[in-house]
Structure formats: C-alpha cells, structure tokens
Amino acid sequence: LRRHDVKRKELPFAKYQPLYDVAVFSAFACNQDFAGGGVAALCSMAAERESLHGSGAVKYMLDLLLNGKSLRSRCDALDAIGSLVKSRDACRELMGWKGRDTRTGDEYAGLGLIFHLKGSKHPQLQRAGIAVVSQVLTSDALKHAERLQPEMMEGLCGFGYSSDEGAGAV
C-alpha cells in the first residue's frame, strides 16, 4: 500500500483535546474563557454531545470547574456539564466522579462539587449549579432512591437556603 492510499481515522478525542488542554491547563483566564466557551457551545449541539462525552468532556469540565481562573470559565464548564448530563452515560459518569481540589485539598464525589457552589458569592455560579442539579434529578439515569439520598436532599436545601439569603441581601 502506498501512503496516500491509507485513510487515517481520526480518534474522537483528537479534535477536542486542544480545547480541553487550553481550558484546563492555561495560565491565562482569557484563554480559559475562550476554550471553556467553545466546549460549552459544542456540548449544546446534540450531534457533538456523544462524541464529546466519549472524549472525556465530563472529567475535563469538572477539572475546569475546580481550577478555572475566572467566573466565566467556571460558568461555561457548568453549562457544558448541564448539556452533557442529558445523556444517561454522562449523568452516570458525573455521579460516579471523585476528585480533589488541589488548592484546598478538599475531596468531592458525585454532585458534591456542584453542591459546594451554594456557598459561592457569585449568583451566576449558583444558578448554573442549580441548572446542572435539575438536569441530573430529572435524568432517567438515576433511580428514585438515588434522588432521595440524604446528601442529595442536603445539597438541594443548601441551594435553597443560600438563594434565600441572597434574595434577602438585595
């Protein structure tokens, strides 16, 4: 076979990897904003969603949420996660995720990182977090008993309490 006769098959993650790398590892907030916004936009398109999920987008967006240098990049990460969890597999991946915040040493599992946003002083992050939790709770990937777990109820109540406090402060 001659070299030009062989068609190269592009791996599904190859076209997204540069965006992930810039979004998560860039030292500049403006680059993270650009890349995070790009991934969020791609996740909103149903045709790209499965391919993105297959390339590890849930994990990368959770990493961006943990390590994002700007409010915008973290909100974009939440938007992307909210779009991705429309898929049963992505929802299951989010619920099974475990990670550590390298800055504080705190460990998170499942929706724990999203529920942690209830203490954010940025209402945009709180609203985006609530949207992700809503998407997860309405997903058919969860069993009814999983929706009623004490951690889930505590997290939901925490979001409600923090939004009541925010409304009182206005």
Please give the residue that has the higher pLDDT: either 108 or 36: 108
pLDDT digits (tens, 9 = 90+) for 41-72: 888 887 778 888 888 889 888 988 888 888 99
Instruction: Give the DSSP H or E segment for 98.
Output: strand 98-100
- Domain 10-169 in this protein, CATH class: mainly alpha
Domain boundaries, the chain: 10-169
pLDDT digits (tens, 9 = 90+) for 97-110: 998 887 888 999 88
In angstroms, rounded to a whole number, what is the distance separating the alpha carbons of residues 90 and 93?
A: 5
Q: Is the pLDDT of residue 4 over 60?
A: no
Check residue 120 and give its pLDDT: 81
In angstroms, rounded to a whole number, what is the distance separating the alpha carbons of residues 108 and 102?
A: 11
